[in-house]
Amino acid sequence: AQSVSQHNHHVILSEAASLELGCNYSYGGTVNLFWYVQYPGQHLQLLLKYFSGDPLVKGIKGFEAEFIKSKFSFNLRKPSVQWSDTAEYFCAIEGRSGGYQKVTFGIGTKLQVIP
Amino acid sequence: DAMVIQNPRYQVTQFGKPVTLSCSQTLNHNVMYWYQQKSSQAPKLLFHYYDKDFNNEADTPDNFQSRRPNTSFCFLDIRSPGLGDAAMYLCATSRVTSVGETQYFGPGTRLLVL
């Protein structure tokens, strides 16, 4: 079985503050890793993903995430947040399950950026 | 140029009255998914189609059914909605490759059961 844990359910930051959202996963095999973002009133969008290669992944809007295999982590970072980053962020993993690729989502972290 | 379209965006139904939610895609992806998302919870996979092959999650209630008449369309049928089925229903698509897949989501249909 695979699972995803997001430690912070609600984060409030001031503009220009640095952001780090934690994500840990549990899976015994090879995984692909994702961060999705859901802006208010909009659908889930891919922020960035890791399949293989450089464990430091850069995504859209200045976000990046680092895959640390030894820690089973894939934390999301941004050096300076903006008000427009207010959204809900979901970490997800894709592992092999019963011959099908299955994606499991974390519970999400709501980020509120205060101007 | 919407890629994953869900209709309707909001659906109100009565307790026990069958309801169908629809999803269409313009991406020609071979996999389509239905998720249920309740407030402050992770999206929960209900089932998915890999081409025509249907895969039901073990804990998906029998009350939920799905149809995929062709590559572009997929339907979620709730035969007898209960109050606990009120949620956001998300459709997603992906194309499976040798290294993995990326899912593209529709805007969701919010279901309210009275």
Which of A1-10, A70-79, A99-108, B44-53 holds the top average pLDDT? A70-79
**Of the partner residues B4, B41, B90, the one whose CB lies closest to the CB of residue A107:** B41
Q: Round to whole Å and give the CA distance between A76 and A19.
A: 8
What would be the CATH architecture of the domain defined by B4-105? Sandwich (2.60)
Report CB contact under 8 Å: B107, A43: yes
* Strand pairing category for A24-26 and B73-78: unpaired
Q: Which residues of chain A does B42 touch, with a Cβ-Cβ cutoff of 8 Å?
A: 4, 90, 104-108
Question: Is pLDDT of A96 > 60?
Answer: yes
Instruction: Give the C-alpha distances (Å, rounded to integers) separating A87 from A7, A45, B9, B103, B104.
Output: 16, 11, 20, 19, 18
Question: Is pLDDT of A101 > 90?
Answer: no
Q: Where are the domains of chain B?
A: 4-105
Where b means 16+ CB within 10 Å and e means fewer, A22-38 reads ebbbebeeebbbbbbbb
Beta bridge partners of B49: B32, B54
Q: Round to whole Å and give the CA distance between B88 and B99.
A: 30
SS3 category, B85: helix
Report CB contact under 8 Å: A45, B42: no
Structural domain harbouring A71: 1-28+46-89
B22-76 pLDDT tens trace? 999 999 999 999 999 998 888 999 999 988 999 888 889 999 999 999 999 999 9
Q: Which residues of chain A does B105 touch, with a Cβ-Cβ cutoff of 8 Å?
A: 36, 43-45
B1-17 pLDDT tens trace? 669 999 899 999 999 99
Location of structure tokens 């891919």:
A46
Report CB contact under 8 Å: B99, A107: no
Q: Round to whole Å and give the CA distance between B31 and A12.
A: 36
Rounded mean pLDDT, A22-31: 90
Q: Round to whole Å and give the CA distance between B90 and A43.
A: 9
Q: How many domains does chain A have?
A: 1
Give the domain CATH number at A84.
2.60.40.10
Residue A9: how many CA atoms within 13 Å on its side-chain side? 5
* Strand pairing category for A10-14 and A56-58: unpaired
Residue A37 belongs to some domain of the structure: no
Question: Considering Cα of B89, then A78, then A3, then B53, what sign does the dihedral take?
Answer: positive
Residue A41 belongs to some domain of the structure: no
